[in-house]
Amino acid sequence: MTTSTADLATGASRPADPAAEARDERLRRVSLIARLMRRPELGAVAGLVLVTVFFGLTANPAMFTLAGVMTVLSPAAQLGILAIAAALLMIGGEFDLSIGSMIAFSGLVFGALIVVGDLPLLAAIVATFVFAGLMGAVNGQIVIRTRLPSFIVTLAFLFILRGLSLVGLKWATGGSTQLRGIGDKAGQGVVRELFSGQALEGLFAWLAQANWIAKFPNGTPTVTGVPVGVLWFLAIAALATYVLLRTRFGNWIFAAGGDPNAARNSGVPVNMVKTTLFVLTACAATLVAILTVLDAGSTDARRGFQKEFEAIIAAVIGGCLLTGGYGSAIGAFFGAIIFGMVSIGLTYTSFDSDWFQVFLGGMLLLAVLFNNFIRRKATGER
């Protein structure tokens, strides 16, 4: 047994042994319920079921048609892209309160590069992402080097970036807080289609022809496609879940958030992991900025206002602990969908949509209580 170190790296260690061991009769099967209870996203799934049942009973049935689902998914996707990045960062043990302001600031940089800088769309997108990545790295390095709580450092950037967005907008427009004309100057083409409008239009036309989905009398489907943001949302959720649960980097995220010292002692590059996560949240904010700016054709200083809180709420509903080291990306995905369902769904009911914030606060409180309970169960903490 003392020789197995080197073998392990090559994945060639002790071939026959594990298989025999796996059938050891003393290892009783773990019950399905126990295994479910161990999943951090259980609360979010339960919440989604609850919310769906609630709206199923109270809302106009139009909410559950294809068109209704798309109206719910659009805002859910924008929030979800942020929430998934915020969830990974929270599992890694840090917060980023600057992502809302980062949306406004990235929107400004992107808009100014196109309108003032006359850059082609692709170049502007790449430049904006590089810039955002640098901002994220700065956030991360300040947190790591000063060992200050990321809560405070990124709170400072919440104001700095929001203020800079205002200043920059007035500079770029000569006094206004709204920069127009981005949509026209961005032009059309493949790159534009990746970041704005709808996708899968051919599929939807075909589905309508085959009578699978609702269509107008002239044969065009009532829903012509999926907003590209929704596809980004799905792709990012799948990728983040894979990285978190199946890769080495994912294990390092859990370790860095669970106990940075223990992780360092075991050889995990904690600082690199945390910096990467800050870069990712900044890039997620930028993606949302580009998606929304191209759809609206303009950008303004209020873009992304309070999105940092909504993203963190969605992540917490998705099972992330505020203390780090525990949570899930797919949970944040469901959290964002709950968010979208409640914000849009209330307009389909007879309730005043002012109830939204009450509902939201209630969900958050319930989620935190539930997560706490589940965590104690899962870890046998007393």
Partner 1 sequence: MTTAPEQAPLIEVRDIVKHFGSVIALSGVSLKVSAGEVLCLLGDNGAGKSTLIKTLSGCHKPSSGEFLVEGRPVAFSSPRDALDAGIATVYQDLAMIPLMSITRNFFMGREPIRGFGPLKWIDFDLAHAVTRDEMHRIGIDIRDPHQAVGTLSGGERQCVAIARAVYFGAKVLILDEPTSALGVAQTSMVLKYINLVRAKGLGVIFITHNVRHAYAVGDRFTVLNRGKTLGTYAKAGIAMDELQNLMAGGKELQAVSEELGGTV
Q: Which residues bind partner 1 (CB under 8 A)?
A: 1-6, 8-9, 11, 13-14, 17-19, 21-22, 24, 26-28, 30, 35, 38, 242-243, 246-248, 250-252, 254-255, 258-259, 261-268, 321, 325-326, 375, 378-381
- The answer to whether residues 328 and 318 touch, using CB atoms and an 8 Å cutoff, is yes
Q: Measured from the CB atom, is 39 or 192 closer to partner 1?
A: 39
- The answer to whether residues 192 and 186 touch, using CB atoms and an 8 Å cutoff, is yes
Tell me how far, at minimum, the Cβ of 254 lies from partner 1, in Å. Answer: 5
Tell me how far, at minimum, the Cβ of 55 lies from partner 1, in Å. Answer: 34
Q: Measured from the CB atom, is 211 or 265 closer to partner 1?
A: 265
3-class DSSP assignment, residue 176: coil
The token pair at 280 is 């990712």
Tell me how far, at minimum, the Cβ of 146 lies from partner 1, in Å. Answer: 22
Tell me how far, at minimum, the Cβ of 304 lies from partner 1, in Å. Answer: 29
What's CA 28's distance to the chain center, in Å? 37
What is the sign, positive or negative, of the torsion defined by CA atoms of 232, 233, 236, 238? Answer: negative
Identify each DSSP E strand in 145-204 by its residue range: 178-179, 198-199
How far is the C-alpha of 128 from the C-alpha of 98, rounded, in Å? 16
Q: Measured from the CB atom, is 5 or 218 closer to partner 1?
A: 5
Total residue count of the chain as it appears in this document = 382
The number of C-alpha atoms within 13 Å of 139 and in the hemisphere containing its C-beta is: 35
Tell me how far, at minimum, the Cβ of 257 lies from partner 1, in Å. Answer: 9
- The answer to whether residues 55 and 341 touch, using CB atoms and an 8 Å cutoff, is yes
Q: Measured from the CB atom, is 4 or 177 closer to partner 1?
A: 4
CB count within 10 Å of CB 293 equals 27
Q: Measured from the CB atom, is 354 or 381 closer to partner 1?
A: 381
Tell me how far, at minimum, the Cβ of 377 lies from partner 1, in Å. Answer: 10
The residues near 22 (Cβ < 8 Å, ≥ 6 apart) are none
Q: Measured from the CB atom, is 244 or 282 closer to partner 1?
A: 244
